[in-house]
Structure 1
Amino acid sequence: MYLGLIIAFIMIFGSIWALLTDNLFKAIVIFGIVSLSSSVMFLLMQAPDVAITEAAIGSGITTALFIFTYKKLEDRKDER
């Protein structure tokens, strides 16, 4: 029970922190942490299939795609 409350606090705190930060890369990393926390929460709610999907797509592929896009934008900024 307490573990669920701690994870919920991490998710809420991380979401607010990602919204308020000025650094885009930091916001992307925090988004990945919130998504990974969400997959742990699904696991605690005894939904392992949803947890695996959230871990793979939500925190894995989506975060990697955001970081790749961020790096491409930084490269274009440097060219100008």
Structure 2
Amino acid sequence: MPLISSFLILIMLIAALAALFFDNLLNSIIAAGLVSLIASVLFYFLKAPDVAMTEAAIGAGLTTAIFVLALYKTERGKSE
């Protein structure tokens, strides 16, 4: 299990850095959603399924959808 957790943490760090350095805002939003999704998988591995479901639903799902909607409601989202 530690090998899988280490691999997921590495992917999470790469996605977080990608979200930081992407020029396209939509790509940054998707990378941030990936960070949240991996966090939910890690919570599940830590035997916290209730926290994992909440993180997946709110963190990865709803927050990503709100960010994408906000991006397309602004002028910046329409020009890209």
TM-score of the pair, normalised by structure 2: 0.90
CA RMSD of aligned residues (A): 1.6
Over residues 35-68 of structure 1, what are the superposed CA-to-partner deviations in whole Å (9 max), with x where a residue is unaligned? 0000000001111010000000000000000000
Report what 2:13 is aligned to: 12
Q: CA deviation at 1:77?
A: 5.1
Give aligned-pair identity as a percent.
44
Which structure is larger by alpha-carbon Rg, 1 or 2?
1
Change (3 A) 1:76 1:19: closer
TM-score of the pair, normalised by structure 1: 0.90
Structure 2 segments unaligned to the other structure (5+ residues):
none
Report the Cα distance in structure 2 between the residues aligned to 1:32 and 1:9, rounded to whole angstroms: 15
Report the Cα distance in structure 1 between the residues aligned to 2:74 and 2:32, rounded to whole angstroms: 18
Structure 1 segments unaligned to the other structure (5+ residues):
none
Report what 1:60 is aligned to: 61
Report the Cα distance in structure 2 between the residues aligned to 1:20 and 1:76, rounded to whole angstroms: 18
Q: Which runs of 4+ in 1 moved over 2 A?
A: 74-78
Q: CA deviation at 1:2?
A: 1.0
Which amino acid in the other structure matches residue 19 of structure 2?
A: A
Number of residue equivalences: 78
